[in-house]
Structure 1
């Protein structure tokens, strides 16, 4: 049984200093997956040494890939080529990592051996039909539990055929899963998205010299390609940086610089939304590393204003809403979020859990079916249950900067799995968290 961890945050303070937050989780996962099936040796710097990305690393080790590290964020992957993976001895346990499970589903549907994917209780309650159904159309054979959840049993040796798939909901995980399966399918696989989602998979495939075409809202791939090993320097995760962007915006007398942050346009919704609310954010030193744009970001305190968050930005900031809700509580007037139903099926129901927590601290927050309405409020002290959701635990930690009394946050152990350095970095910058 994991030990229960509780955060206690004393009210007030400001954030000051310059930090580099850990590497991007999405890219850390993909660097292992693609490096493993590439020809040659791939060197990765800035790899996120947290349990989710390590779950992916362990899965590929179990399938016969030799991987050295991680040591100080450096990993060396001795690729086995597109058809070189071997059957693991037992089920692949993926912990709490939805990305690992959904992307591996696609990759493993094209192998000639059977695999079983399992995870912790939270992961085994998350919806998997969104990937297993389109994969079945490609000819994959995947057995789920009766309600469409994991454990997933994937049959090997199936001949996959490319399909044209119109995604009902914008999801980078579904798109990535089908593109990975498409590398093993006869003919073209075309994935059309209803709204833009993060494109790390396409960019990294191109980085490994594997052809992926973009035509409008479609990503297109076929099996006529090989991956060539390359070097990857993983940028800092903008989803992790978001806590500091909001913290420095809402805490008086703050001035924080975040170095080497990934500013992929499919991920910068949080910057766009905060700027619309009047945040003082400056992006500089822009460059491209391994197909991905990176930059340094400076953020200083400002009086935020409530806005109606444009729905087109929702998929570009989907993981950042817990902490954006905290920003909304500090913003003059009213902030409204709509079109974010996806938040209800994350590690927790993030709409309900955030609304409950904000209300417990005296914030005027009303959950709706697909979002939330928040009016500017004094943030009081109180006890909040994060329901084991790391982003919620960190969001309420940041709320302490504007609270007028102590905030106690229960069930924070998953912060250690996703962002173990959070406590050190945020206390270094000036938050009183124990």
Structure 2
């Protein structure tokens, strides 16, 4: 699949039980960061398990444009010869980050404190997403940014020649914003302090520490206070990328709602800042066991055994949103097949993802016969019970991989097949989705 070519209409329908082993791809968040920190290090970084989706491949191309040598050695195996902190060269052309908000925001951060200029763009979806949330903090370091109205791409960032360390409180729960500020702080003298009121995914902090940065996190009355000492010499590392919990969510949720299903999803990250979905599923009555817990690449992982379950609606607390923000679309699919009502609060960040994910899921669920309620920060799904969703609709994906996959999962248990207008964006995060799901027994096919 290609997230940048012609649309790929797809359809899913009810079939038999899902069985087997689901080897989901490497974690997208960690894959981005491994390439970026490898490029900012001295020496060679060896990466295994890298997600080879389009988003990550676009980040690899960007690191080459800034002067790093990035080489694919085999499936999921990559090496990066870094240029060191402050060693980025000025790219000769525009940096196209495709569909990746993570990629563009982190890269803006890590070049913002070097005396170079770079222009960033992306696909139609990325060009609609707000970049002010990153350009505001990097301006405190001395960087300047010029973009389209509303702080949108294409955007040119002029890095600070004499950067200053900052103390910055993130205005929203966003790992991208926090990470951009920390990466900018790498090439600023002294200590950069980033404060977040709610804990977000901490892959950047873990990986910075692994590459040799001096970084600490303290819980205080202000929130989580992260202190980074600038201008370290990062050294190349060996990084083993765990499997992505956001990708694992799709086969896991499918198995929970398709009768008779029993699957194993090995090696999934159990980072506590990422596992909110699994906590929520267990509260809904999901039969999930976490087997063989261990650590890989500095991240906790486990093998997930998932069996069909009768689910019931719950209220998901807003404090959990940051740890499962990408999983709400597929959670709403489970909610539609649960008994009772599921209330999801604190989900305003879904409005500014690859699409307005609340609106996209709401309209698609309504078209499939599911009653919903929504406001700017809340999404409510009134469950119809297992297997009672009428389906039969063609749902718009809005160039959003998670919307496409979520409705294809819903079609596996709805009374009538469900189609999506474009499955091509799936390649940005989960290029083997189609093959993996059909290998488990799912009835998913292309219709053009």
Query: Aligning the two structures, in what range does the TM-score lie when normalised by the shorter sequence?
Result: over 0.9
Deviation, structure 1 residue 66: 1.2
Within the candidate set 320, 343, 346, 2:350 is matched to 343
After superposing the two structures, state which structure 1 stretch, 158-167 or 91-100, moved more: 158-167
Question: Does residue 401 in structure 1 map to residue 412 in structure 2?
Answer: yes
CA contact (8 A) 1:262 1:295 kept: yes
Deviation, structure 1 residue 371: 2.2
Question: Does residue 262 in structure 1 map to residue 269 in structure 2?
Answer: yes
Deviation, structure 1 residue 386: 1.2
Deviation, structure 1 residue 157: 4.5
1:360 maps to which residue? 367
Q: Distance in 2 between matches of 1:369 and 1:114?
A: 36
Q: Secondary structure at the match of 2:412?
A: helix
Q: Secondary structure at the match of 1:408?
A: strand
1:16 maps to which residue? 19
1:327 maps to which residue? 334
Instruction: Please give the TM-score of this superposition, normalised by the length of structure 1.
Output: 0.98
1:392 maps to which residue? 403
1:130 maps to which residue? 133
Instruction: Please give the TM-score of this superposition, normalised by the length of structure 2.
Output: 0.95
Within the candidate set 412, 431, 436, 1:420 is matched to 431
After superposing the two structures, state which structure 1 stretch, 362-371 or 240-249, moved more: 362-371
Q: What pairs up with 1:374-393 in 2 under 5 angstroms?
A: 374-377=381-384, 378-380=388-390, 381-393=392-404
Q: Secondary structure at the match of 2:406?
A: helix
2:168 maps to which residue? 165
CA contact (8 A) 2:242 2:301 kept: yes
Q: Distance in 2 between matches of 1:70 and 1:272?
A: 37
Deviation, structure 1 residue 287: 1.3
Deviation, structure 1 residue 232: 0.6
Question: How many residue pairs are counted as aligned between the two chains?
Answer: 434
After superposing the two structures, state which structure 1 stretch, 376-385 or 196-205, moved more: 376-385
Q: Distance in 1 between matches of 2:252 and 2:174?
A: 24
CA contact (8 A) 1:47 1:70 kept: no
CA contact (8 A) 1:242 1:320 kept: yes
Q: Secondary structure at the match of 2:267?
A: strand
After superposing the two structures, state which structure 1 stretch, 264-273 or 139-148, moved more: 139-148
Q: Distance in 2 between matches of 1:224 and 1:412?
A: 43
CA contact (8 A) 1:359 1:365 kept: yes
1:101 maps to which residue? 104
Within the candidate set 267, 272, 281, 1:274 is matched to 281
Question: Does residue 371 in structure 1 map to residue 382 in structure 2?
Answer: no
CA contact (8 A) 2:173 2:196 kept: yes
Deviation, structure 1 residue 4: 1.1
Q: Secondary structure at the match of 2:374?
A: strand
CA contact (8 A) 1:2 1:413 kept: yes
Question: Does residue 187 in structure 1 map to residue 194 in structure 2?
Answer: no
Deviation, structure 1 residue 430: 1.2
Q: Distance in 1 between matches of 2:372 and 2:412?
A: 19
Q: After superposition, give the CA deviation of every residue in 1:3-52 in whole Å (9 maximum; x if it has no partner).
A: 11111112243211112100000011000000011111111000011110
Deviation, structure 1 residue 70: 5.4
Moved over 3 A (4+): none
CA contact (8 A) 1:28 1:234 kept: yes
1:228 maps to which residue? 235
2:294 maps to which residue? 287
2:151 maps to which residue? 148
- For structure 2, list consecutive stretches of 5 or more residues without a partner in the other structure: none
Deviation, structure 1 residue 331: 1.0
CA contact (8 A) 1:12 1:404 kept: no
CA contact (8 A) 1:10 1:406 kept: yes
CA contact (8 A) 2:40 2:86 kept: yes
Q: After superposition, give the CA deviation of every residue in 1:121-161 in whole Å (9 maximum; x if it has no partner).
A: 21111001111112112221122223111122111352221
Question: Does residue 215 in structure 1 map to residue 218 in structure 2?
Answer: yes
1:46 maps to which residue? 49
Q: Distance in 2 between matches of 1:177 and 1:70?
A: 28
After superposing the two structures, state which structure 1 stretch, 203-212 or 216-225, moved more: 216-225
Q: Distance in 2 between matches of 1:119 and 1:134?
A: 21
CA contact (8 A) 1:9 1:406 kept: yes
2:306 maps to which residue? 299
Aligned-residue Cα RMSD (Å) equals 1.2
Deviation, structure 1 residue 187: 2.3
Q: Distance in 2 between matches of 1:289 and 1:207?
A: 13
Q: Secondary structure at the match of 1:214?
A: strand
Q: Distance in 2 between matches of 1:40 and 1:426?
A: 39
Question: Does residue 311 in structure 1 map to residue 314 in structure 2?
Answer: no
Question: Does residue 205 in structure 1 map to residue 208 in structure 2?
Answer: yes
1:433 maps to which residue? 444
